[in-house]
Amino acid sequence: MLLTASEGRHWRYEVCEHADGYLVQMRDLATGDLDEEFSTIFRTLPVAFAYAEMSAAYERYAASELELADESQPDDEQIEVDVETTERHFIDLSDRLQDVGINGVVVQAWERERQRGPARLLH
């Protein structure tokens, strides 16, 4: 179940319930496709929220840096402040709650291994 989403310029960072905690996944705003490589699972909801906000802020900042059409964007300074603020908030929460997250690809590998069943050891 989708709990919340934070939007960057080109991607939406969704926080969803997961069997092992809270999943943050990245969805393309133009196509609606999920990026299979970007997913992180957190044990705590506040850290997952903070990570989604930080990721969206960083993506907005990176997109604004790449846009060369309008050299003097008035909100550039605000975008930089947002990145710094959300990063500090994520690091603080992550440290206090001892939740750094686990890459979703690793969790998928664990699930595949668990489904294979017990390994037999022949002596």
Per-residue pLDDT of 84-121, as tens digits, reads 999 999 999 999 999 999 998 887 787 787 788 776 77
Query: Rounded to 5 degrees, what angle do the CA atoms 108, 52, 77 make?
Result: 145
Give pLDDT, residue 67. 74
More reliable by pLDDT, 4 or 117:
4
* Residue 19, pLDDT score: 87
pLDDT at 73: 57
Q: Are 93 and 46 spatial neighbours (Cβ–Cβ below 8 Å)?
A: yes
Give the residue-averaged pLDDT of 33-62: 94
pTM of the predicted model as reported, rounded to 2 decimal places: 0.82
CA geometry: angle 102, 103, 104, nearest 5 deg: 110
pLDDT at residue number 24: 96
Tokens of 71: 């050299």
**Residue 29 structure tokens:** 């705003």
CB atoms within 10 A of CB 51: 25
